[in-house]
Structure 1
Amino acid sequence: MRTLTTLTRLLGVVSLFGGDRRIQLVFTHDERRPGILSAGVPEALRRLGPPVIGWEQATATRFDLAITASENDALTELDAPILLVPHGIGYQKYYPGSRVTSGLDPEKLVRHGEVVPAAIALSHESQRAQLIRSCPPAAERAVVIGDPCLDRMAMSRHRTSRYRRALDAGGRTVVTLASTWGKHSLFGRRPELPVELLGCLPFDGYRVVLTLHPGVWAAYGPWQVQTWLRPAIAAGLALVPPDHGWQAAVLAADCVLSDEGSAALYAAAVDKPVLLTTPGSPTTVTDSPLAALARSVPKLVTELGLRDQIDGAIARHRPGSHAPILEEAVEDSGAALLAGLLYALLGLNPPDDPVFPPVADPEPLTSPAAAFVAGVDASGELVRFPLVAEKSPDLEYRHVLAHADNAERRELDAATVVYADEPERLAGLLDHWPAARLAAAPIDGGCVVRDSTGETHELTADADPVLLSAFAYVRLTTGRPFAGDLNGAAVSALRRH
């Protein structure tokens, strides 16, 4: 494999060999001629734990089959029939700065007058015409297999609740941002979008998730990516690593914000509302299904309210609305079609009922938000937002809440409510942060708050303790009793002496 992207694609393909002891798999990559986005491949293989051999050994060994997701490897050096599979839904992209379709480079498909792959996988019959235009001699090797990644996602849709739990979504609306790589990508053009969303989507109503193309991680490295995104992660962003669940993050989404990358097509294929976040990309094949999808879905407009656009996309989405475009991108296939091709190339009988394993659970990099701005919005609802943006929505009784141990010093200096995990610390919190008007801590079924006069109240309700402490501050400010209604939840209050 050449990159993390191709490794991920190959893992989906070879998952069909699970349980078949006739097949032994080994992995290799050409460390002598790395690709521009090959960083991270050795580390990913070490985490995965398969047998790995060097390129020199691979080229000196006879294999029954070689599977690759890139025509850019030195495939002629391998002694094996070669299956070439695309690393997206079909062939939707040009190589940057050219009009050569990625995956169909004629200079790589034909060497010394011979077609290199024994089989070239297509996701749709229409791609045969693409191949004929790009490399006529290779067209006879084309085989339509559908899309293994989409097949796995389709077979995993019943696990959506499981994936949402892994993302700690609860009953919140999941907004998944999915970025490809490069300067025309979501992350390349709008790197501030995760923070903008966290600052305008109520914390208790929305869960913001980000998936980045493996090329982003390879180009900059995990440390740099996480450093850039540290403010967003600290505010509650769920950042999904490239090899731990981007498909699940799409399946779990109520709305997907994307660019002109394959993730947008996958989101559409599993019938998600899609909002395009960037202008058109010059690397998108002009007459491709991806280009058609980009023309058809709504665009995220910076000047308009982000929340209204997301809510509107969800409300207006009609199941099956993307179907006409997807019908030109991928054909129904299933595991049997791909298994038939794989085992035919191997000269073996396929299993009776081949199946793909389900999509892996997401393992997001995330952190509990430690500071919030809260208040009453125009609808009269008490809401809170992570304290990340310079501007937050207009709120009545606006105030800051900060965790005594986990928030930054500047956040605590600005806090009206300081909260901790232990009720016995309340008096000390107000002594340490004298500008705060309330100290709060969770108790069974609610929270306990202490004001600057030393009065202590227990509030119980079916609500998050931090939001309940914000409710207490609003009631204290308005002079109303602590008992009342919090966004439909009954709050009872008991004064402690």
Structure 2
Amino acid sequence: MDGVVRNPAQWVTLQGCRKVLVVVHTEVYGRRLRELLPLLAADLRVQVAFTVAPHAFNGGALRALHGLGGVVLPWEEAVRGEFDLALAAGSQGVERLRAPLVRLPHGAGHMKLARVADARRPGEPRGVGGMGRSYLMWGDRVVPAAYAVAHREDLELLRASCPEALPVTEVVGDGVHDRIAASLPLRERYRMALGLRPGERLVLVSSTWGLGSSFNRLDALLPRLLAELPDRAYRIAVLVHPNVWSGHGDWQVRAWLDTLRRRGITLVTPDADWRPLLVAADWVIGDHGSVTLYATMTPAAILLARFPEEDVNPASPGAELARVAPALSPAHPLAEQLAYAAAEYPAEAYARIAGRISSEPGRFNANMRRLLYRILRLGEPAYEPATAPLPDPPALDSGTDDRSGACA
């Protein structure tokens, strides 16, 4: 990748600059952290470098930094350097950093329980992923200088799972929430950019990763969508979690889905921004991933293809969504189920659930910049940090050349 530096001594810093290290564990974490970069941009008092930390799914981490042209320090060199601030959305290895650390969650709603394999005391129930002592402490020390969470409800989770971290925890909101909210008025523009024709409807199939994800049943769902939905009335796009791409490899994921792609399904690549597609979608068929939860902010009707209750935090907004959203049935025609989900759209319930994503709607940039500059011991730049709408998406790749004819 561009800008890899083999020795921190080769990283040329301006005199007097505060040095910031962005620690990327996975592609998902990296994309979450990229949202923070505009808060530090154009400030000659601040200089940013990146590093890729150890993680089982860090194969796609550099892809999250693609095109930035930033300096990327090797991990072992980065942990020997000293920085004025470090940013991370993961926990592995961050106790080694020589910098005050700001940690962020990497998804919405703290929905998933910790993996069964994660260490916990005998007899203890599974904690909430990202919220326990094993994620936030090293020995008897709280690792982050600040833990930036999205909602006041997260404070109650911490009070139960890691009360030691409460003094450093701040409720700042959710940057993805705010970008989606700012982009909702551009829904029709995104639909035009995607190439949707008048009368065409977009079905977005979204999968998280893991054994309970809908990816493990796409071999049954996607052929049904192709067989049952008229191809002049519906476009189908599939969004697969980057950990699936990293865990299995890009070639393997493409190979598994290539036949379906050649029949007209769009496979959204992991480097694409999924959020404009979500804003543009008419239906979202999802599971217990963050994308399904963010869909409650949009006009899209939601159907749940899978929802492994045993792996979900029962107090999360995702669990509430599972009690409200219709579940996909293998025994009824898909067109009828899509029509049902649209006709029975529970607007009030979805608005309530969406309200649990962030308790600081529209204020993430202001809150987060205030936190970062406080730790940097600098005054903030003298302008409001705006929340930019999402960029236009590229046109959907149908995998076929024949898109002629009127929509049904």
Smaller-chain TM-score bracket:
0.7 to 0.9
Q: CA deviation at 1:342?
A: 1.8
* Aligned position for 2:380: 350
The alignment covers a number of residue pairs equal to: 373
1:388-434 Cα distance to aligned partner (Å, 9 max, x none): xxxxxxxxxxxxxxx7xxxxxxxxxxxxxxxxxxxxxxxxxxxxxxx
What TM-score, normalized by structure 1, do the two folds share? 0.71
Given the alignment, which residue of 80, 83, 86 partners 2:99?
Answer: 80
Q: Is the 8 A contact 1:240 1:364 kept in 2?
A: no
Worse-superposed segment, 116-125 or 39-48 = 39-48
Relative to structure 1, the CA distance from residue 367 to residue 255 in structure 2 (aligned partners, 3 Å threshold; closer, same or farther) is closer
Displacement after TM superposition at 1:272 (Å): 2.7
Partner of 2:87: 67
Residue 155 of structure 1 deviates from its aligned partner by 1.1
- Considering only aligned residues, what root-mean-square deviation do their CA atoms show, in Å? 2.2
In the alignment, which residue of structure 2 is the partner of 1:293?
A: 321
1:115 counterpart letter in structure 2:
V
The 5 A counterparts of 1:29-108 are 29-30=52-53, 34-71=54-91, 73-97=92-116, 99-108=126-135
Correspondent of 2:390 among 354, 359, 362: 359
Are the counterparts in 1 of residues 109 and 316 from structure 2 also a CA contact under 8 Å? no
Q: Show the counterpart of 1:426.
A: none
1:203 shift after superposition: 1.4
Shift in CA distance, 344/136, structure 1 to aligned 2, threshold 3 Å: same
CA contact (8 A) 1:16 1:339 kept: yes
Deviations 1:137-195 (A, max 9, x none): 11111100111111111112222233223322122111111110111111113333223
Shift of 1:315: 2.5
- Return the alpha-carbon distance in structure 2 between the equivalents of residues 160 and 88 of structure 1: 23
Higher relative contact order (Cα pairs below 8 Å, separated by 6+ residues):
2
| Structure 1 residues 167 and 365: alpha-carbon distance in aligned structure 2, compared to 1, 3 A threshold | closer
Gapped runs of 5+ residues in structure 1? 371-402, 404-463, 468-485, 488-497
The correspondence of residues 197-208 of structure 1 with structure 2, limited to 5 A, is 197-208=225-236
1:244, 1:361 within 8 Å by CA — same for their partners in 2? no
1:169 corresponding residue in structure 2: 196
Secondary structure (helix, strand or coil) at the match of 2:51 reads coil
**Structure of higher CA gyration radius:** 1
Question: What are the superposed Cα offsets for residues 117-143 of structure 1, whole Å, 9 maximum, x if unpaired?
Answer: 011111111111111111111111110
The 3 A distance-change label for structure 1 pair 91 and 466 is closer
CA gap of 1:127–1:465, structure 2 versus 1, over 3 A, is closer
Residues 1:338 and 2:365 aligned together:
no
| TM superposition shift of 1:290 | 0.8
Q: 1:121 aligns with which of 132, 140, 148?
A: 148
After superposing on structure 2, the runs of 4+ consecutive aligned residues of structure 1 that deviate more than 6 Å are none
Report SS of the residue matched to 2:219: coil
Amino acid at match of 1:163: Y
Which residue number corresponds to residue 44 of structure 2? 21
Q: Choose the corresponding residue for 1:228, options 241, 247, 256.
A: 256
Instruction: Answer yes or no: is 1:259 the counterpart of 2:282.
Output: no
Deviations 1:9-61 (A, max 9, x none): 1112223333333332211013xxx3221112234434443211111221222
Question: C-alpha displacement at 1:466, in angstroms?
Answer: 5.0
Residue aligned with 2:59, SS: coil
The Cα shift of 1:355 comes to 1.6
Q: Within 2, Cα distance between the matches of 1:38 and 1:266?
A: 24
> Offset of 1:104 from its aligned partner?
1.8
Q: Match for 1:153: what amino acid?
A: I
Any idea what SS the aligned residue of 1:256 has?
Answer: strand
Counterpart residue number, 1:157: 184
Alignment counterpart, residue 245 of structure 2, candidates 196, 217, 240: 217
Identity %: 35
Secondary structure of 2:148's match?
strand
3-state SS of 2:58 partner? coil
Letter in 1 for 2:393: P
Cα pair distance change 1:90/1:345, threshold 3 Å: farther
Report deviation, 1:363. Answer: 4.2
Name the CA distance, whole Å, in 2 between partners of 1:78 and 1:151: 30
By how many angstroms is 1:364 displaced?
A: 6.7
Question: In 2 relative to 1, CA 200–48 (structure 1 residues): closer, same or farther, beyond 3 Å?
Answer: farther
Q: Is the 8 A contact 1:62 1:79 kept in 2?
A: yes
CA distance in 2, matches of 1:321, 1:182: 28
Q: Indicate the SS of the match to 1:357.
A: coil
- CA shift, 1:367, in A, is 3.8
Question: For 1:10, what is the secondary structure of its paired residue?
Answer: helix
When residues 279 and 61 of structure 1 are mapped into structure 2, their CA distance, relative to the original with a 3 A threshold, is: closer
Query: 1:399 maps to what in 2?
Result: none
Aligned to 2:353: 325
Q: Is the 8 A contact 1:234 1:366 kept in 2?
A: no
TM-score relative to the length of structure 2:
0.85
How far apart are the structure 1 equivalents of 2:210 and 2:392? Answer: 27
Q: CA deviation at 1:96?
A: 1.9
Aligned counterparts, 1:130-149, within 5 A? 130-149=157-176
Equivalent-residue separation in structure 1 for 2:398 and 2:351 (angstroms): 37
The separation in 1 between residues aligned to 2:43 and 2:185, in whole angstroms, is 26
Q: Structure 1 pair 50/282, CA: closer, same or farther in 2 (3 Å)?
A: farther
Structure 1 stretch displaced more, 175-184 or 165-174: 165-174
1:230-266 per-position Cα deviation (integer Å, ceiling 9, x unaligned):
1221122121112211111111101111001111110
